[in-house]
Amino acid sequence: MIAHLFATIQNQILNRVNENSLDRFVSIEFADLFDPLLIKKSKLSEDICTVFGRPAENFALVGVGISRTLTNELGNDLTGARDAIKEIFQDRYNSDETFLTPKLIGGFRFDNSKIATDPWTSFGDGQLILPKLLFVQSGLQSGVIISPDLEYNELLILLNKLVPHDSFQTETTFSHSDNVRSKIINETKWTENVSEISQNIRDNKYEKVVLAASIALPLENNWNFDNAFDFLWTNYPECFLFHINLGNGIFFGASPELLVRLNENELETAALAASIARGINQNEDLTLAAELLSDQKSKIEHQLVVDSIVDKLKALELDISVNSVPKIRKLKNIQHLLTPIYGKPKADTNIIDLVDRLHPTPAVCGYPENNAKEIINHYENFDRGWYGGPIGWVDANGKGEFAVALRSSLIMGGHAWLFAGNGIVGSSNPNDELEELLLKFQPLFNAVRGTNIIDPASISPFESSQVRT
């Protein structure tokens, strides 16, 4: 069945492409719906360099092979990105394309004013990747975008790999105790840091700081990345799923947070801040959601993020619409306060400009921004790298979508580095913040560990009804 599907896709591509047609981008809509994630079941899977998707909305981008990469052209404030992107696409695509408009996929460091250190050095300040083949699903439509930098003979080689592979996925394991608590940073030090930061906020030195932590897990030789990513894709379909494979390292995750989305008619962003656990049944779940909505500490933290985003957008003189009351965003093991924010873009509004303007929000950094970065640098003894940074895609027309790279992991040198963080305000309780931190580590811990069952000695998603950021 899958072999026939792959053969059909091969034929549709070859019927549209010849040696003389690859001097510009070629976009081919498939006759029948094709799930790009099926490429992982083919021999072409070894060439996958980028994935970005929203499974619950049937949206997926799967990039195969790297045609070009923008790195140094991006600049510290992304000012060079627009011109570099424009040069790649200039006069080489049909401007009336819709879901098959050519795209770059990539991400940026949380703080590109700092020099990248291990294990992030190969990722640099940011990268936008132009895949040789970009398979796209958008709702009930699907197709492929072929880069003009791809030679015809190379296209044939890639298409010949679009056949089922005969390898099997081994069970994911890692070397030591499967216990989040045993891998977490020193709990005493964590709670002391939270207590100090919270006291400084009460002393009016700043308003909020997002304090992150990192866990390093050694991986067994038979560890399988596809198992880990498939676990996230299946269990967290409401999130933004992503992975960037640079050959010597893979950054991947499942983020609940939209940074900004831009289409022809609308700009969309969101404030996602303040959290609480899910309940063990519907009644408890609703009770916890109501508690989160009424909690004064959570409302203050959330409103701070809303106000900051709105102020940044108003500085662009955009017409903004925002709800006065947040709603609940429910994920598998956690629920958040969410306030969608919409705007009317100008004709020349570009997604890269919006990313540059909005990142970082107080939801991932703190407020005021400069104070928060100083506190982060003081208390965190690791490089965040791309954790907490923008990750997503931009098309040839300057439209696109970026998420905030939360709930993420870096696979490098036989280790998995897991990242998670909490928003600290004046009323934060250090012990509650620790439980919340463990809760946020759980999706990636489970994915890397290869199971959806946490060791009983570690935190349960339903263990504490008092968990919140």
DSSP state of 174: B
Are 401 and 257 in contact by the 8 Å Cβ rule? The answer is no
The dihedral region occupied by 48, where left means phi > 0, alpha psi between -120 and 50, and beta the remainder, is beta
188, with CB counted inside 10 A (0-12, 13-18, 19+), is exposed
Distance CA 132, CA 144 (A): 10
Pairing of strands 208-218, 366-367: antiparallel
Would the CA dihedral through 117, 419, 386, 211 be positive or negative? negative
Largest CA distance in the chain: 69
Query: Which member of 40, 103, 183, 257 is catalytic?
Result: 257
Length of the chain: 469
Contact 107, 251 (CB under 8 A): yes
| 221 token code pair | 């030789």
Q: Does residue 454 contact residue 436 with C-beta atoms inside 8 Å?
A: no
Measured between its terminal Cα atoms, the distance across the chain in Å is 47
Handedness of CA 88, 128, 348, 29 (dihedral sign): positive
Name every residue whose Cβ is closer than 8 Å to that of residue 426 and which is 6 or more positions away in sequence: 198, 201, 202
Comparing CA positions, the residue from 251, 184, 172, 175 lying closest to residue 215 is: 184
Q: Say which residue the tokens 């070859």 belong to.
A: 14
Structure tokens at 97: 């394309």
Rounded Cα distance between 361 and 354, Å, is: 12
Contacts of 210 (CB under 8 A, 6+ apart): 362, 363, 364, 365, 366, 372, 376, 388, 421, 422, 423, 424
Q: Is 257 a catalytic site residue?
A: yes
Our answer to whether residue 205 is catalytic in this structure is no
* Nearest-angstrom CA–CA distance, 212 and 381: 10
Catalytic-labelled residue, pool 41, 103, 183, 208: 208
Tokens 């083919």 belong to 42
Are the CB atoms for 215 and 187 separated by under 8 Å?
no
Residues whose CB is less than 8 angstroms from the CB of residue 269 and which lie 6 or more positions away in sequence, other chains included: 258, 259, 260, 261, 309, 313, 340, 341, 343, 354, 358
Hey, which residues are catalytic here? Answer: 208, 257
